[in-house]
């Protein structure tokens, strides 16, 4: 009985501590995830970002074209192998470019204009075929997530396109944050029905060690 009481006290201690932190972050499957609590359950929560950039490796295709995925937001800037590529006036494509062997479908190499397909993906030529290029994307825009039964909204770092860096800045509910300054947790909060009331509440929300 004493052990059960201690365990219950520990759980509700974590719940109480979480009430002091509106926004926290954790890592899930190698990606940063932001959790924002204190919202009305089942409502839409908006995250507005001014951008952030984490360099990632993107494999060029057989004719040296690097594809930057349109993911969640329109890029403000794209940097490949340390050099900024202009995206101000991209050439429109009807679909993904098709290589003619090792020859790209347009000339100009790294000085050529960016291309963009109807889905918003960008394409850049002039790189070593079948080798990875280092790509950093800075993107601003809005994202939305639906708060769960505990009033918690979850925002995950994109798997590709514009992954976050520690300089990633964002706002939720009028409050500004940077990813590097948000409190890190070992786990995100679990929303479960506990007790006999049927009202959902947190079950785990512990500080990083």
pTM score of the predicted model: 0.61
Whole-number Å distance between alpha carbons of 164 and 135: 12
Whole-number Å distance between alpha carbons of 174 and 151: 17
**pLDDT per residue over 17-76, tens digit each?**
334 348 999 999 888 999 999 999 999 999 998 777 777 899 999 999 999 987 645 677
| pLDDT for 83 | 93
* Helix runs in 32-190, H state only: none
Judging by DSSP bridges, how do beta strands 56-59 and 66-68 pair with one another?
A: unpaired
| pLDDT for 60 | 96
Judge whether 131 and 109 are in contact, CB under 8 Å.
Answer: no
Q: Which residues contact 81 (CB under 8 A, 6 or more apart)?
A: 127, 133, 134
| pLDDT for 136 | 85
CA distances for 38 relative to 24, 67, 195, angstroms: 12, 38, 20
Task: At 38, list the tokens.
Answer: 């204190």
Q: What is the DSSP secondary structure assignment for residue 179, as one 8-state letter? A: G
| Burial environment of residue 178 by CB neighbours within 10 A (0 to 12, 13 to 18, 19 or more) | middle
**Domain-wise residue ranges, the chain:** 56-137
**pLDDT per residue over 83-142, tens digit each?**
999 998 999 999 999 998 889 999 888 889 999 999 889 999 999 999 999 988 877 788
Whole-number Å distance between alpha carbons of 183 and 197: 31
| pLDDT for 43 | 95
**pLDDT per residue over 164-192, tens digit each?**
877 788 999 889 999 989 999 888 888 88
* Residue 8 φ then ψ, to 5°: -65, -40
Give Cα 91 distance to the centre of its chain: 27
């Amino acid at each position: 009985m004493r052990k059960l009481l201690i365990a219950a006290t520990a759980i509700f201690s974590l719940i109480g501590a979480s009430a002091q932190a509106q926004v926290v972050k954790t890592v899930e499957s190698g990606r940063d995830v932001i959790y924002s609590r204190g919202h009305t359950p089942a409502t839409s929560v908006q995250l507005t970002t001014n951008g952030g950039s984490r360099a990632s490796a993107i494999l060029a295709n057989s004719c040296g074209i690097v594809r930057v995925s349109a993911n969640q937001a329109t890029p403000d800037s794209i940097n490949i192998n340390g050099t900024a590529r202009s995206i101000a006036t991209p050439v429109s494509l009807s679909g993904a470019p098709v290589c003619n062997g090792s020859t790209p479908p347009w000339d100009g190499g790294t000085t050529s204009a960016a291309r963009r397909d109807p889905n918003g993906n960008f394409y850049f030529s002039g790189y070593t075929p079948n080798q990875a290029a280092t790509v950093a994307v800075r993107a601003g825009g809005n994202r939305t997530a639906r708060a769960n039964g505990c009033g918690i909204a979850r925002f995950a770092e994109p798997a590709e396109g514009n992954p976050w860096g520690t300089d990633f800045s964002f706002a939720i509910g009028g409050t500004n944050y940077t990813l590097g300054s948000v409190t890190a947790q070992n786990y995100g909060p679990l929303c479960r029905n506990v007790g006999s009331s049927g009202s959902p509440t947190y079950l785990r929300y512990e500080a990083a060690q």
